[in-house]
Every structure is written in structure tokens, then in C-alpha cells.
Structure 1
């Protein structure tokens, strides 16, 4: 009887570990084949974004801004109300990262907000149980990590770009050591730890800011400055380095995020926030 019992337990454990192995193998293959990459959509307002490109003109373009920025739905959502409080709690941290990276705080926040709204709308039960009552930011812990949903391979590329002086994303010697580790023991584990601490979002903000700055550098060097194009920067943040191809009239879009039955693109949401009055008292628009 005992032998039969132990055989059952053994078989259960054996098949259980085998199943876990299959799952992890599947995830690994999916990531290697880029099956988890964001495909993205082109925003329906794409032509509008390319009509008026510089910040100063956009701020003065009030009539068309009101016409095209249909931000009432997301601004009045429960997800935004909670997210806004979470962002405010991190104000000092965001300002610190802005100073260290040279990227305006509102630009950093503009790429975080669509990712957080996507997190909240795709995890409704968790949002209602935990994030909405506590008014805290959500942290990704699978495939993508941290509050800005950065993949580990992207995080590594951000780091590599800082060191590679031949890279189009290279920022100069003053930034080469910004993301250095204290030691070289198990860098993968150290990198993951930077993003999975739900109580400290410093590295999520810093990697996001450095990513944005590297994209800025690439486009600037190619003769197409997008330093004042939050919708383009956040689209490329969402889609990844491979999709960053400098050109005169870049597309705006990315992941589709549905908020209260209205669809937004990642880049479109970033634009809507950036030029809204939301949080403008603590993260003002900086004309570059």
C-alpha cells in the first residue's frame, strides 16, 4: 500500500516538473522568436500628429488641440484617478531621474502612463482589489518588468548602448556608467531585481528615461529631432529599438488600450496626457 502511495506521489511530481519544464521552454521559445513582442497599430490621428511638430506651436494650437485630443474618457476613468495618485507619490523620484538623465519629467511620465493604464485595464480584478484602494502603481513580473513594462533583453540593450561608442543610440562618455552594477556576479539576477522591487521604482524610471534619451540621440544624429514628440517617443518605447527607424514623418501608435469602451493607442495616450492639464502643476511641459 505504501509503495503504491509513493509511486503516485512520485508520478505526480515527475509529471508536474515535466509540465513546468514545458511551460518554461515554451516561454523561452516565444521570447526568442519575438512572439511576445508588441505588434502595434497606427493611430487614427497619425496625420494630425505630423502637421504641427514642435511643442511651442502645439501649445498655441489650442483650437485643433481641443478638436483632436478626445481625452475625457481616460481622464475620468477610475484607472486614471488611481494612477495619478501613484505618480504623485513618486514625484521626488521622477524629478531625481529627470535631473540625472536630462530627460524632462513630463516626457518620462508620458511613457509610464500608457503602460500603467494598460496594466490596470488588463488586470481588472487585481486593480479593484489592490491597486485602486491603495493608489499604487502596478509592477509587471512576467515577460516584461517594472512599472514601465521593460523586457529584460531591452534593459540589457539599453545598458549596452551606453557602452557601445559605435551605436547610433550612444549618449557620450558622461552616461557610460549610469547603469553600472556594483559587481559582475550574476548580472541577469541583478538586472531583474532592479525592476521587481515594487517599493522602489527608481530603476524603472531610470531605464525608461535612458531609453527615451537613446532614441532621441539616434533620431537627432540622423537629422530628425523628436525631442519634443512625446507621442513618437512613447510609441517607440512601446515597440522597441528594432522599430526605431528615423524618418521625416514617423508613425504614431503601438498597443491598443481600451478604457471604458474607447480604444487608444500607446502613443496617442501619451500625447493626450502630455498636452492635457493633468499633473501640469508638478510636471510642466518643458519646451526643448
Structure 2
């Protein structure tokens, strides 16, 4: 196991795992620019009152100071005890977005909570003590990816301070290859069961559908994106072979990903052959999931990236 750097050890001490209420020792209070200006104003009023023995300056300075202390305590209490829970997306394809759900349970109403992580942000209120925010994280490449460190914070009620906590999960996000539609006729012929014959109707569009198969006129009329379905030879039994594909490793995996999706929709029995990995023939949602996971974890360098 690789040794953690000093910075990583420091972050592990600061951050906490989702699933437990935020304790006092993991909450941090940092002044905002507005809060610093507020403090300077209080100090100037106090100095003015001391220098000129001005009672009104004293009253205003201590009133602003007391208001700042109340705002600090309210911001701290607004975040204390919130329980964050992560909800991982079911399927993520490279080049798309991973919609990470963060469920926040506060036990009582909370106001103006903010989530930041992975370059995206979300804001939500908990009027009934519970709510969910969705972070659309970019997924530029396939494979297992660590979840970004999340920052949960609030500036409520006056924006003088930021009460914040860091969240770090050990769970990893599995990103499938980006489906790539085949253009060469020989590839279409090699994937028996993909040849379209008669038009059979419309179905809901799915990731990996060719733009040529989408019913654009239907979409313009109803606003629902559908794909054209054609009658296909039923229950083809075939093998999807990495060595039979052309191009660089990532393109081959993208082609195989598109074939897995197409054969699953057609109800075919198919197996998958990768260097060092053989997935027996099967069908159904389980076969689809196992095949996509094998493609996502596969290492072109020859290391075994998935279990058959």
C-alpha cells in the first residue's frame, strides 16, 4: 500500500466520511470578505467612540459586534448535525456526466446549504429537514475514478462567516466506455443480429443509439426523443471479440460497448473476449452489466482489468 503524503494525511484528518452526522470538531468557521469588512467597521467605531467619548459610537459598535456573534452561532448551528449520504449514479458513460446525488438529512429545517466538488456546485434548502442535491460531475474517460472531495458549507444568515465541512468517500465511480457507432459495413456484418429488416415501431432512445436511428420528427412534435426499432433476427448467439475490432484500444472498447448495448436491446446471447478476459455467453441485464464493467476495467497494457 502506497504511503500517504503529508497533505493527504492532513485532508483525511479534516474530512469525514458520508453517512454520519457532522460533529462539532469537523466544522470550521471562516470569515468572508463581507465579514472582514464588518469586523473592521466595528473596530473603527470602537476606536472612534474611545477617542471622542461618543456614546452613540459605543452603542453602534457593540450592537454590530453582538449581531455578528449571533450570525456566527446561527451559521454554525445551521450546519451542525447534518447527515450527508451519497447516491452513486447507476450508469455513467465516458464523455457524459455522472449525476452524483447527495442526500442531506438535518432533523430540522436548514437554510441555504451549498455543496461544492469536482468543479460544480449546488444549493438547497431543507424546509422539512431533508433534501437532495445533484452534482453533475464530468466523466471524461472510462475506468474507475475516485469521487471528488466535497465541501458542504453555509453563509446563512448574514454572510459574515462560512461554516463548512469536508466530505471524502472511499467509494469509486465506474465509468463505461463511450459507445461508438460503427460505420464500416464489415463490422455491421460481423455483429450478426444488427442488420435491420422491417420497421417495427418506436421505442425510448437509449445511450449508444445512432443519430440516424432517432425519430427526429416525433421529437419535434411531442418533445420525447424516441428511436426507430427494426425487426431483428431473434436470439443470435455470437462473440464480441476485441481482436476483431480495428483502431486503438479505446476505440475498440467503444465499439464493443456499442455492440453490447445493441445486442442487449435485440435480446441476443453474446459473449465477450478481451485479452486475458473471457465472459461466457449470456443475455439479460446481468450480462449487460458484467460486460460493460469488464470493458470499463480493462487495461490495454495486458493487465487483467476484470474478472470473467
Is TM > 0.5 for Structure 1 vs Structure 2? no
Task: Compare CA radii of gyration and give the structure with the larger one.
Answer: 2
Hey, which of these two has a bigger chunk of strand by percent? 2
Say which structure is richer in helix: 1
> 1 or 2 for the larger relative contact order (CA 8 Å, sep ≥6)?
1
TM-score bracket, normalised by the shorter chain, equals under 0.3
